[in-house]
Chain A
Amino acid sequence: MKTYEIIDHTADLGIKVYGRDLEELFINSADAMFEVILGKQKPGALFEKKEFKKFLLHKNAQSIEDVFIAWMGELLYLFYTEGLIMKKADIQRLDSEAILADVSGPIFNPESYQIKTEIKAVTYHELEVQKTDKGYQAQIIFDI
């Protein structure tokens, strides 16, 4: 099953992501975002092996879309400030009010690799998180 596809947007870049359940949808969306930023590179050779762990908690959201934006925004922020490339996520709570997760992954090493596409932000424009016959899907437009 394909996890995501690029959708055309004139100025920016959009993706449609699929998952069997919400958890998988959130993780696949994060993977897709990092693939947009870094391209299809094998991290081993390009990034320092140093692992980084971070505990995430967002609450008081009003919809699953809010939680989704908070999740993606937080990962983007961790990437730009700490260099964390999320590879693993242990999601303990996920509903339309909150997400609670342990995330970890290698740290980006700017000396050995360049960013392919700088994502400025995850936008609310045409944002959709939907239940489908096969699970869940999300549509996201990034500002790049």
Chain B
Amino acid sequence: MVGSLQVKLEKIDNWRWRIPRSYKPGMRVDGLIYSDEKLLKDLYQDKAAEQVANVAFLPGIVQYSLAMPDIHWGYGFPIGGVAATDIEAGGVVSPGGVGFDINCGVRLLKTEFQQEEIQDKIKQLVYALFSDIPSGLGVGGDIKVSRKQEEKILLKGAAWAVEQGYGIREDLECTEDNGAIAGADPNSVSERAYERGKTQSGTLGSGNHFLEIQAIDQLYDRQICDFLGLRLGQVTIMIHSGSRGLGYQVCDDNLKTMLRCLSKYNINVPDRQLACAPVNSSEGRQYLAAMRCAANYAWANRQCLMHLTRKTFERIFNSSWQKMGMHLIYDVAHNIAKIEKHTVEGKEKKLCVHRKGATRAFAPGDPSLPDRYKNIGQPVIIPGDMGRNSYLLVGTQKAMQETFGSTCHGAGRVKSRSAALRTIDANKLIKELEAKNIVVKASGRGTIVEEAPEAYKDVNDVVKVVAGAGISKRVCRMKPLGVIKG
């Protein structure tokens, strides 16, 4: 599809491009896209840049409508979009600025293994993980919960899982918001959402959700790597999943309500998927209370998935996960709206920060970080596609100043799923991955093709931009060894 952006982006420097608010009447702030000459070419292929301009219509938006270098065409918000609204000035919250998969996110855990120690077991591990971890498509997970328990999950998040014995307290410390965001109200979640969520606890999900065994192939910041106990060749595990059907339904329910709010609060947005309501309105509060429930469900889910992963490793290696050093480095949300304090034009303001396909990246010293990470800054986990790399980064002061403490979230698609299916040969792709010693197991060949490396931007290019712009710092890079796709 040909891009519809009529305006030429204004280059600010090598990493920053502006869409002036004069581009469209109704834009309240400029758009600002983090990118470079190479990635910019993809931007003109679809409608993502137009969506950055559309987000600038949101009432109360401050500073910029931001987009990270992994930006691609979403629905309403672009994926890779960040927008903050000033709550006191009538700022809005938009379910479209979070997405259907509320608190889709990633966690990274380390192991004490070196790649060569487990290389001959990768296939066995991948197949065992594939059978132990339900994808949840049409099949419920093994972790069955009652309605009362489900309400507890929505309140307590990952802590619920730890109470059940699926992990330890340390895991919570190493999770954004300790694995549960405050202000969740289970009564704000519809019966339909409960119904869709009840069989899906502890399931991975489909599409781009995955579990990956990796090895560290490059160190960028030795000091931080030493601090985190990370070295070259060390095996790590990455888990990417979200809030499953419960989150999708919470978004769906609230979108309907918010569409009615557009006329009620006299809000003008160019896309119905940007429907929103003031944060300080009954509809805004209701959405945030339900969104937080879904976010907590997702954190509980990733905690359960990590527990199942540890169990599988324990079985295969006949050891305990503690002995194998399977500690959580960090868990980040990349589809969420948060109430945070940031400095805007010299004044501290209470903002509603939407991160839609973007990751929080707080600087060293931020009071919301756990003590163990106060000196290095918040760990940021950036998954790439299954044939290339993934990254561990940390947040910076520059991110606090420019992006409300946010950075990119992944590689970002460039090729639609249908285009991938048309143009990529499954057999050839599997052979190519095998040649790189990457074992892939997915429920269908279609998934493998849809998620092929060439359907994505090169994550190395994406991370180069956020590092170049100074909104994150590279710590180390991983390469995939084994991948499980839902």
Once bound together, how far apart are the Cα atoms of A77 and B193, in whole Å? Answer: 9
Main DSSP-derived SS at the A contact region = loop
- Least distance between B215 CB and chain A CB atoms (Å): 29
How big is the A interface, by class?
20 to 34
**Stretch with Cβ within 8 A of B (4 or more), from A25-33, A48-56, A96-104, A116-124:** A116-124
Once bound together, how far apart are the Cα atoms of A7 and B46, in whole Å? Answer: 13
Once bound together, how far apart are the Cα atoms of A66 and B417, in whole Å? Answer: 27
B contacts with A, residue count (CB < 8 A): 44
B432 at the interface (CB under 8 A from A): no
B100 at the interface (CB under 8 A from A): yes
Once bound together, how far apart are the Cα atoms of A120 and B243, in whole Å? Answer: 11
- Least distance between A31 CB and chain B CB atoms (Å): 18
Give chain B interface residues in 259-285, CB to chain A under 8 Å. 259, 271-273, 275
**Candidates A11, A113, A118; contact of B79 at CB < 8 Å:** A11
Per-residue contact bits, chain B 192-218, to A (CB 8 Å; 1 contact, 0 not):
100110000000011100000000000
> B196 to A123, Cβ gap below 8 A?
no
B31 at the interface (CB under 8 A from A): no
Per-residue contact bits, chain B 38-78, to A (CB 8 Å; 1 contact, 0 not):
00000001101000000000000000000000001111100
B1 at the interface (CB under 8 A from A): yes
- Least distance between B121 CB and chain A CB atoms (Å): 27
Once bound together, how far apart are the Cα atoms of A9 and B259, in whole Å? Answer: 23
> B73 to A117, Cβ gap below 8 A?
no
> B275 to A124, Cβ gap below 8 A?
yes
> A125 to B416, Cβ gap below 8 A?
no
Once bound together, how far apart are the Cα atoms of A134 and B205, in whole Å? Answer: 40
Closest partner residue, chain B, to A12 (CB atom): B75
**Candidates A10, A66, A77; contact of B196 at CB < 8 Å:** A77
B435 at the interface (CB under 8 A from A): no
A73 at the interface (CB under 8 A from B): yes
Once bound together, how far apart are the Cα atoms of A9 and B1, in whole Å? Answer: 8
A130 at the interface (CB under 8 A from B): no
* Inter-chain contacts of A124 with B (CB < 8 A): 75-76, 255, 259, 271-273, 275
Once bound together, how far apart are the Cα atoms of A120 and B193, in whole Å? Answer: 12
Once bound together, how far apart are the Cα atoms of A7 and B417, in whole Å? Answer: 10
> A115 to B206, Cβ gap below 8 A?
yes
Per-residue contact bits, chain B 77-108, to A (CB 8 Å; 1 contact, 0 not):
00100000000000000000001110000000
> B416 to A108, Cβ gap below 8 A?
no
A135 at the interface (CB under 8 A from B): no
List the 10 shortest-distance A-B pairs measured between CB atoms, nearest first: A125-B75, A110-B138, A124-B272, A118-B206, A115-B137, A123-B75, A125-B273, A8-B416, A10-B73, A120-B248
List chain B positions with a Cβ less than 8 A from chain A: 1, 45-46, 48, 72-76, 79, 99-101, 137-139, 192, 195-196, 205-207, 245, 248-249, 251-252, 255, 259, 271-273, 275, 413-419, 443-444, 446, 486
A-B contact pairs, 18 of them (CB 8 A): A8-B1, A9-B1, A10-B1, A10-B413, A114-B137, A115-B137, A115-B206, A117-B207, A118-B137, A120-B100, A120-B248, A121-B100, A121-B248, A123-B273, A124-B271, A124-B272, A124-B275, A144-B417
